[in-house]
């Protein structure tokens, strides 16, 4: 079989500019059989409430309040140099991992910082081989997506860590379309994956995987 797509993932659009974390959490939890809670507020709002209450950082008083990442008191913010303004996480990897593990019992997720694109993708594909989706932090630390499948062993595949990979399937909460998006390996490597610019995960590509 050329495609590995272990579970159906229902796409949802992120409800706010800064809700990519809650949106991918909603998609992943839904795919693992977690029922949507009663509303209002929406499921994404409830997930974001968990994030804001459990990030466990102290937001600098001089950190910016911008539309894509509005301020909350316990927000993790980092700066890449002494002269740069702070950049603040809307959803840190650790709190997203904790959110997933607190709300389902199918799989135990962990944050996996990787040194390069091949290693990060290998970790994602290993998770898919276990029958569950993974999450990837893309464009440095800008955006979260669900990775819910991969294509391999077809003409044009590239050997990465022993897996003849053609590309990955993602669910992007900011894509503007509900279909599964197939991303060829070259585009995934060159356009989506890049290292976090500073802080705890500096120069690492971050995925949330099942060990």
Fill in the DSSP letter of residue 66: B
Whole-number Cα distances in Å, 37 to 4, 21, 43, 70:
30, 17, 6, 25
pLDDT digits (tens, 9 = 90+) for 17-62: 999 999 999 999 999 999 999 878 999 999 999 999 999 999 998 8
Helix (H) or strand (E) holding 118: helix 117-129
Write down the pTM of the prediction.
Answer: 0.95
If phi > 0 it is left, if psi is from -120 to 50 it is alpha, else beta; for residue 110 that is beta
pLDDT digits (tens, 9 = 90+) for 151-194: 999 988 989 888 999 999 999 999 877 777 999 999 999 999 99
**CATH entry, 3-210, from 3.90.70, 1.25.40, 1.20.120, 3.40.50:** 3.90.70
Angle, nearest 10°, between helix axes 93-103 and 20-31? 30
Domain extents for the chain? Answer: 3-210
């Amino acid at each position: 079989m050329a495609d590995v797509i272990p579970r159906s993932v229902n796409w949802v659009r992120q409800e706010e500019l800064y809700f990519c974390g809650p949106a991918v959490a909603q998609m992943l939890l839904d795919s693992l059989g977690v029922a949507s809670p009663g509303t209002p507020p929406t499921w994404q709002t409830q997930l974001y409430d968990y994030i804001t209450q459990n990030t466990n950082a102290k937001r600098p008083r001089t950190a910016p309040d911008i539309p894509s990442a509005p301020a909350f008191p316990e927000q993790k913010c980092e700066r890449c140099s002494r002269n740069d303004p702070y950049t603040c996480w809307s959803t840190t990897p650790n709190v997203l991992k904790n959110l997933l593990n607190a709300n389902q019992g199918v799989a135990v997720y962990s944050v996996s910082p990787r040194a390069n694109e091949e290693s990060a993708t290998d970790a994602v594909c290993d998770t898919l081989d276990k029958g569950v989706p993974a999450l990837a932090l893309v464009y440095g630390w800008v955006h979260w997506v669900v990775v819910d499948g991969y294509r391999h062993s077809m003409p044009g595949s590239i050997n990465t860590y022993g897996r003849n990979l053609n590309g990955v399937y993602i669910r992007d909460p900011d894509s503007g379309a509900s279909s599964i998006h197939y991303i060829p390996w070259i585009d995934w490597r060159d356009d989506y994956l890049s290292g976090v610019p500073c802080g705890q995960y500096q120069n690492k590509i971050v995925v949330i995987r099942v060990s």
